[in-house]
């Protein structure tokens, strides 16, 4: 039987009726049409489905939507400010940190959360913050450099 839940997604409140076994990733993608959240493994290994839940990056494929009733969620669609990209998005583009793009939403949300807590992270801190986000294309170096660049951009 469906349950009615309330979420604030990308600063907009919404009420949705969901089956108790639906994951947050399914609800975001299939019910709310937010296809920027990717699903790779579906079992918590790859981080492609990362969203920010009440200020923390989580694997949305492992979270049931009914568990997060009343929560605030940011997906990649909520990161830019209108037409202005977030510095992390801009830095990923400028630094060639995107190839196929499948990991990118999750990487950007993990990196943005890190930079909101630590405005000048050292490389090991960046690598640790992104350790739950797997990328099969870039070799990670460009991503780490893009996060450094984003940190510089955010200071200005």
Give the binding site for ligand FES (CB under 6 A).
39-42, 44-49, 59, 61, 98-104, 135-138
Residue 131 C-beta: closest distance to ligand FES, Å: 13
What b/e readout covers 70-108, taking b as 16+ CB neighbours within 10 angstroms? Answer: ebebbbbbbbeeeeeebbbbbbbeebebbeeebbbbbbb
Residue 15 C-beta: closest distance to ligand FES, Å: 25
Residue 106 C-beta: closest distance to ligand FES, Å: 8
Q: The tokens 């990161």 sit on which residue?
A: 79
Q: Which two tokens stand for residue 145?
A: 């450099």
Q: Which is nearer to ligand FES, 49 or 119 (CB)?
A: 49
Q: Which is nearer to ligand FES, 8 or 39 (CB)?
A: 39
* Distance in angstroms (rounded) separating the CA atoms of residues 41 and 31: 20
Q: Which is nearer to ligand FES, 61 or 73 (CB)?
A: 61
Q: Which is nearer to ligand FES, 5 or 130 (CB)?
A: 130
Residue 36 C-beta: closest distance to ligand FES, Å: 13
Contact between 105 and 75 under an 8 Å Cβ cutoff? The reply is: yes
* Distance in angstroms (rounded) separating the CA atoms of residues 48 and 46: 6
């Amino acid at each position: 039987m469906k349950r009615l839940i309330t979420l604030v997604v990308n600063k907009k409140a919404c009420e949705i009726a969901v089956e108790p076994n639906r994951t947050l990733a399914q609800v975001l993608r299939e019910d709310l049409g937010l296809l920027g959240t990717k699903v790779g493994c579906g079992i918590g290994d790859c981080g492609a489905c990362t969203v920010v839940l009440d200020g923390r990056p989580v694997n949305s494929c492992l979270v049931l939507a009914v568990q997060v009733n009343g929560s605030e969620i940011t997906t990649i669609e909520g990161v830019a400010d209108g037409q202005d990209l977030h510095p992390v998005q801009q830095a990923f583009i400028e630094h060639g940190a995107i190839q196929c793009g499948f990991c990118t939403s999750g990487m950007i949300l993990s990196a943005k959360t890190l930079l909101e807590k630590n405005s000048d992270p050292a490389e090991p801190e960046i690598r640790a913050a992104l350790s739950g986000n797997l990328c099969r294309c870039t070799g990670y170096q460009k991503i780490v450099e893009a996060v450094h660049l984003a940190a510089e951009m955010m200071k200005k």
